[in-house]
Amino acid sequence: MPTTSLHRRTLAFAMLSLAGPVHATAADTEDPAHIREVAEQAVRDAAGPAMNLVVTSDAADPRLRLARCTTPLRPQVAGDGQLREHTTVAVRCEGASRWVLYVSVALATELPVLVAQRALARDAIPTAADFTEVVRRVPGASSMYVGSARELAGKRLRRPVAAGEALTAEALLTAPIVRRGQQLTLLAHAPGMDIRVTVVALMDGRPEERIRVQNPGSLRVVEATVRNSELVEIPL
């Protein structure tokens, strides 16, 4: 089969390599339905427990014939292993005939999600009043979405959210608890003693983030770790 025809099926089965006869009899070829089942199960296993997980894969090119594998097919989620709306699974045969197919698998989940009641701007502080909890079929795995208003605490929006959009975890960013220009206590550790001085934040800071602070007396600037909204820490 021409390689270019397979590359054009970017959302279907794509053949990476093939050893053995392409034009084999039906009894000697791998069942495409079995290949799809293996790919879909790999995505289910990677997703873990999820409410009403819906997994579907694209149909194979009917002209494609792969030698029946003499060993169990070995699937692997391609790329970084993260599950997305469209996830690619590499299905490998490592038997007498060795081949690899990339299978495109679509993933969706029915679960409670927070849906924006109105358009929200980037950097906005989201509250429960901005969202309605509804059960919706959404693309991707359940871990991609925010399902409870409790998850909004201490967060702001990394990007704008449109009215009617289901809120995703990647849209949230931990809000700064320290603001530029704020007076803070700098705790410096030394063997057998602690030193506390008043400093001024030169930048916003989130919990456990390193920020620059300045001693207003000496004008010395150091980097310290944000511990809470009033305290930063540095070892001596």
Q: Is the pLDDT of residue 62 over 90?
A: no
Cβ(109)–Cβ(50) under 8 Å?
Answer: yes
Give Cα separations from 142 to 78, 80, 90 (angstroms). 19, 18, 23
Q: Which of 86, 90, 62, 94 is nearest to 77 (CA)?
A: 90
Q: Is the pTM of this model over 0.85?
A: no
By three-state DSSP, how is residue 62 classified?
A: coil
Work out the pLDDT band at 26, boundaries 50, 70, 90.
low
Q: Domain residues of the chain, as ranges?
A: 3-108, 109-174, 183-235
- End-to-end Cα spacing for the chain: 68
Per-residue pLDDT reduced to its tens digit, 114-144: 999 999 999 999 999 999 999 998 888 777 8
**Residue (of 136, 14, 138, 144) closest to 82 by Cα position:** 144
**Does CATH place domain 183-235 in 2.30.30.760?**
yes
54 vs 42: CA distance, rounded Å: 13
- Give the model's confidence band at 63: pLDDT under 50 very low, under 70 low, under 90 confident, else very high: confident
For the segment 165-189, the average pLDDT, to the nearest whole number, is 93
Confidence of residue 182 (pLDDT cuts 50, 70, 90): very high
Fold for 109-174, please state it.
Type Iii Antifreeze Protein Isoform Hplc 12 (3.90.1210)
The b/e string for 35-67 (b: 16+ C-beta within 10 A; e otherwise) is: bbebbbebbeebbeebeebebebbebbeebbbb
**What DSSP element (H or E) covers 94?**
strand 86-94
pLDDT at 199: 96
Give residue 186's pLDDT: 95
Mean pLDDT of the chain: 85
